[in-house]
Structures are given as C-alpha cells and as structure tokens.
Amino acid sequence: MVLLLAICFVVNITLGSVSIPLKEIFNSLFGNIENQSWQYIILNFRLPKAITAILVGSGLGISGLLMQTLFRNPLAGPFVLGISSGASLGVALVILGAGTFGGFLSTFLISKWSVVIAASLGSLLVLLAVLAMSVKVRDTMAILIIGLMFGSITAAVVSVLSYFSSAEKLQQYVFWGFGSLGNLSWNELLVFFCIYALGLLLSVTSIKALNTLLLGENYAKSLGLNIKQSRLVIIFATSLLAGTITAFAGPIAFIGLAIPHMVRQVFNTSNHKILLPAVFLLGAIIMLICDSIAQLPHSDFSLPINAITSLIGAPVVIWLLVRKRKMMF
Amino acid sequence: MALDTQHIILSTDNLSIGYSSKKTQHVVRSGINLELKKGQLIGLVGANGIGKSTLLRTLTKVQKPLSGQILLNGKNLSHYTPVDLAKTLSLVLTEKIASKNLSVFELVALGRHPYTDWIGNLNETDIAIINKSLSQINIADLKDKKCFELSDGQFQKAMIARALSQDTDLIILDEPTTHLDMYHKAYILKLLQRLVKETQKTILFSSHEIDLAIQLCDSMIVMTNSEVTLDAPKNLISKGIFNELFPKDLITFDLESGSFRVKK
C-alpha cells in the first residue's frame, strides 16, 4: 500500500492542464532545472496540491474511524460533531455577510486567509460547545445528538443568510462548499501540517483506548480505561483533523465515512493497530486518485473534488457491502 | 482476627446502596454487611427488582455507595485507581459487546489491557496467559473464530476467558446463565465451580438459577425484602431463608429436595 501511495503521488503530479514529461518532473523535484516554468508549476502548484490531498484523505479517514468507534455507529463520520457545519457558518458569515459591512472591509473579508480563519473559528466554537457539553453528559450517544443539533442550527442560520444574499455572493459560498485541494501556498501548508500532525499524534495515542472501546463503555471502564479522558482526547483529535481540513480544503464529504468501511471490509479486522495505518494509506490513495480524475487530464477544466469523491467512492462501498453480504464493524 | 481478615477478599460495612440526584436519595437497600471469603464460589440470588444489580454495580464501582464503605483486599474501593481496580476485579456483564467482529483470541487478549504498554502490545507472558485462559475454558479450538460466529453458550465462555486473562483475585458475573439452555446453564456454573477450585480465585455471580446455585455454591447471598444474608447454602435452607425469597402465593421452597415447587 505504501508503494501504491507513492505511485498515486507521482501520477497525481504528472497530470494537469499542462502536460509535463515524467522525466522532467523528477528533474524538477531534485533540482535539475531545465525548464523554469515547468519547475515553477510543479513546485508551487502540483506538489503542494498532492501533499494537501494526502493530508486531507488520511486525516478525514482517521477522524471518521475515531468517530465510528467512539459512537459505536457505522453512520458516524468526521462531521457528526458539527465541525463542518461550524466551519460553514463561519465562511457563510464572511462571504454572505460581507456585503453588509460594505466597501473596504468587504474586500478584506473575502481574502483567502479570512475564509480560512472564519472556518477555523466556526469549527472551533462549535467544537468548544460540544466539548463543554460532553464533559457534563454521561451518555456518549447524547453527544452525537448534540452534534447533529448544532448542525441543524448552523444550517438554518446559513439558509437565512443566503436568503438575503446576492446571487454572486451565493455562488462564491457554493464554490467553497465544493471543496478544493489546490491554491495552498507552502506557508499555508506548513500551518495545515502542524495542526494535522498534532491530531494524528493524538489519534495514535488513542489506539489502545479505541480497541478497549470495542467491548462497549462498561467493559472498557472495567479494564481500567478512564472513559471521560479518552473520550475527550478522541473528540479533540477528530476536531483538529477535521477542523483544519475543512478550513483549508472546504467541507469534503464522504471520505471520512467511507474509508474506514472499505478498510474493515478489505482487512477483515477491528484491531485499530491495523486499521489506523491502513485508513491513513487508503484515505491518501483514494484522495490522490479522486484529485487526479477531478482535474480532467489534458484539459483546462477541473471538477469539484467533493463531487468526485462521492461519485467514485460510493459505488465502491456499495460493491464491497453487497459482495461480502455482511457489514464488518 | 488478623488472620481472619486475610481470608476476606471483599467486605462491606453498613453499606447503603441506591440512586441519588441533586435533591433526593432513593435508597434501594441499607445496612448491608457482607464478608466474601477468598477461594469461594458465591451466588447472589433474589427476586426481580430487589436490588441485585444495584448491589453488583456498587461493588464494582460503577456507581457510588450512598453511605458505608466497601473494602476490596483490605483497601477502600474508592481509593483504587481505575487500572489498579482492573487488576483486582474483572467483570462479565449482560450487555452485548459493541463489536462482534473481534476474534475470540482478540477478545480474550483485551483482558490483558491493564498490563500492556501505551499502544497495547502483547508480550510473551501476556500471550501465555491468554492461551492458558482459553484452554482452562476449553475453547482453545475456537480462538480464530469471530464472535458473531459463536453460539450464545460459546460466547459466554469466551467472555469468561476474557475475565480470566485479566488475572484478578475476584471475578464478578452478572447473570451469566441468561439466554442459555438448561444444559449450558449447568455447564457454565459447573465451569465456574471448577475455576474456583483450580485457581483459588473468588467468583461472585448473580443468577435466577437458585436450584443450581444451591447445589454448586460454597456460599450464597440471598436478598429478601427484609434482609441481605450471606451463608453456606445448607445453613440458609435450615434457616428457612429461601421461603422468604418470593411471594408465597405461587411457589414454595421444598426443604427435602432443596428446590422450589409450584403450588398445584
């Protein structure tokens, strides 16, 4: 799978609106400059995009896995805690609400960083609210419902905002909702990577707790697990991963829900020591493939990544479930 | 006296159990004084709703006692850290486990969690203990099967093996014989009796199989409306405690056979 990931990575860099021979790509990557503009395209567009795809795919897959195990619910995904809806609300307030502030302020507000900051703040606020309640609530299922309720509230606010917005602003907001892996500079990528790495680290330290949780909370407790603390760490890890991903790449659907299911079907295990790295690799691979398809090789167009992930991923999951006739969970 | 306390694994002192909310306290039972001896098989019986589950939940630190205290191996239960408690007390509950996709070996291996490192790697000692637990329960041949492939009886055995691999002085089982047929009910309780003899562990279980418990247990805790009594089954019979167990309109306890009879 590591090999497959490497192949996908190279293929992803190779494909784009300008076709660049494979040999030149390696040359550019390793510093042998022959064609300045090709090197510029690769180092500043394709390479960051491919890295973003890996971070997004693996991060969403892992946060989906964490949520499915924590909530013992195969329908859970990275966004059940209302993280993406929080981010959407932040972005909606900035893009759709910007018109009301007028003039100078609105041009500032619509810049790239402001969208990222708004999305981060939005997801952070929803996250803090959910965390505050999860400390009080004893039942884990209640947290799931609370997350869903936050989703409805933010969705309602967004629809009210859209109702009063101009078509142009609305389109801008809808485009954000399509998700995008490109347009990240190296600086942005660095910030993205640092937060992602912290989330990943927390997930790895939760492996033992996750395996214990396979027995249910009462058994986990009888095995000496501090439920409240582990729950907090798991939710926090998910929020870091899913929150930054949504902030930098938009609300990318499906990957978080589907990848853990694919991995369980293929590896036929529930052991998180195997599941976590497998989800990491498969998430990254699928995301790279989806991105390669989305940019429609040899054409100037590219499709919204959000549509591609679902178009390709959903049939695969359905096929796996029908073939095995049994859901592994 | 000092010698005496060494033989006690669990004792309660004027224990009062029940549920409390901010304003009110709902007392289920109070004034419970029990001393469970080491190396015994102990059955807990009582009618539905009498407080068996509440008692077990309190003894296993799932809920707090309203008053009084519980000593486990001479140490107050509330002073145990979660991991230390997990090394002294293991559980078999009635609830279903969340994932049935675990293999029997993986399931039993989870019992080693209080002892493993931060990521849960098993060392040679752990694997030896897991395999020993599997063979003690006679399910070594099932170890690669997935839990959803097991019958109810086999699954219950796997859960007991898991508790065994946790290597604790005390194992508490909540109604281990529900959903099982007559043969497997007897089989599981007989198995518990054998484990007590072989391992010198103490096993406490709640059950509605009073007839079987009377035949197999070293001592029994009987919960009736008026009191909570711990004694050897034959003493309990001669005291006539079992007659107090249920309302007398339908069934009565027959002293001769040591079992219940339906009134004709």
Percent of chain A with pLDDT over 70: 86
Q: B169 to chain A nearest CA, in Å?
A: 14
Greater model confidence, A136 or B110: B110
Whether ipTM tops 0.95, in short, is: no
Section A99-117 average pLDDT:
61
Whether the per-residue pLDDT at A109 is higher than 60: the answer is no
Whether the per-residue pLDDT at A16 is higher than 80: the answer is no
pLDDT, residue A273, reads 93
Residue of B nearest to A328 (CA): B101
Across the interface, whether the CB atoms of B118 and A208 are under 8 A apart is answered yes
Whether the CB-CB separation of A291 and A252 falls below 8 Å is answered with: no
Across the interface, whether the CB atoms of B101 and A215 are under 8 A apart is answered no
CA-nearest of B45, B73, B57 to B15 is B57
Q: B33 to chain A nearest CA, in Å?
A: 24
Mutation target to probe the B interface, by most B beta carbons within 10 A, among A69, A72, A207, A222 is A222
Phi/psi of residue B221, nearest 5 degrees: -100, 120
Both tokens of residue A53? 């795809």
Whether the per-residue pLDDT at A108 is higher than 80: the answer is no
Q: What pLDDT band is residue A327 in, cutting at 50, 70 and 90?
A: low
Whether the per-residue pLDDT at B2 is higher than 50: the answer is no
Section A116-132 average pLDDT:
80
Give me the sheet containing B202-206, strands edge to edge: B89-92, B170-174, B202-206, B41-46, B219-223, B228-231
pLDDT, residue B113, reads 93
The per-residue pLDDT for range A137-157, each reduced to its tens digit, is 777 778 888 888 888 888 888
Whether the CB-CB separation of A180 and A250 falls below 8 Å is answered with: yes
On average, the pLDDT of chain B sits at: 91
pLDDT, residue A302, reads 76
Both tokens of residue B100? 């049935």
Q: What pLDDT band is residue A213 in, cutting at 50, 70 and 90?
A: very high
pLDDT, residue A80, reads 76
CA-nearest of A46, A83, A49 to A63 is A83
Across the interface, whether the CB atoms of B99 and A329 are under 8 A apart is answered yes
The whole-angstrom separation of Cα B113 and Cα B122 is: 9
DSSP B252: E
Is some CB atom of chain B closer than 8 A to the CB atom of A156?
no
pLDDT, residue A232, reads 86
For residue B59, the surrounding DSSP H or E stretch is: helix B52-59
Greater model confidence, A135 or A280: A280
The per-residue pLDDT for range B43-87, each reduced to its tens digit, is 999 999 899 999 999 999 988 999 999 999 999 999 999 999 999
CA-nearest of A280, A286, A249, A194 to A84 is A249
The whole-angstrom separation of Cα A81 and Cα B61 is: 30
Across the interface, whether the CB atoms of B90 and A221 are under 8 A apart is answered no
With contacts defined as CB-CB under 8 Å, which chain B residues touch A215? 97-99, 107, 110
Chain B residues within 8 angstroms (CB to CB) of chain A: 60, 62, 81-87, 89-91, 93, 95-99, 101-102, 106-107, 110-111, 113-114, 116, 118-120, 166
Is B251 exposed, middle or buried, given 0-12, 13-18 or 19+ CB atoms closer than 10 A?
middle
Q: A283 to chain B nearest CA, in Å?
A: 22
Residue of B nearest to A221 (CA): B82
CA-nearest of B38, B185, B57 to A222 is B57
Both tokens of residue B195? 């484990």
Mutation target to probe the B interface, by most B beta carbons within 10 A, among A72, A203, A219, A272 is A219
Whether the CB-CB separation of A98 and A169 falls below 8 Å is answered with: yes
Q: What pLDDT band is residue A328 in, cutting at 50, 70 and 90?
A: low
The whole-angstrom separation of Cα A225 and Cα B56 is: 19
Percent of chain B with pLDDT over 70: 98
Section A133-137 average pLDDT:
75
CA-nearest of B225, B176, B155, B165 to B42 is B176
Across the interface, whether the CB atoms of B118 and A205 are under 8 A apart is answered yes
Lowest-pLDDT range of A201-205, B131-135, B259-263: B259-263
Whether the per-residue pLDDT at B127 is higher than 80: the answer is yes
Both tokens of residue B262? 């339906």
The whole-angstrom separation of Cα B185 and Cα B212 is: 8
The whole-angstrom separation of Cα A1 and Cα A7 is: 10
pLDDT, residue A18, reads 65
CA-nearest of B216, B230, B222 to B36 is B230
pLDDT, residue B1, reads 44
pLDDT, residue A110, reads 55
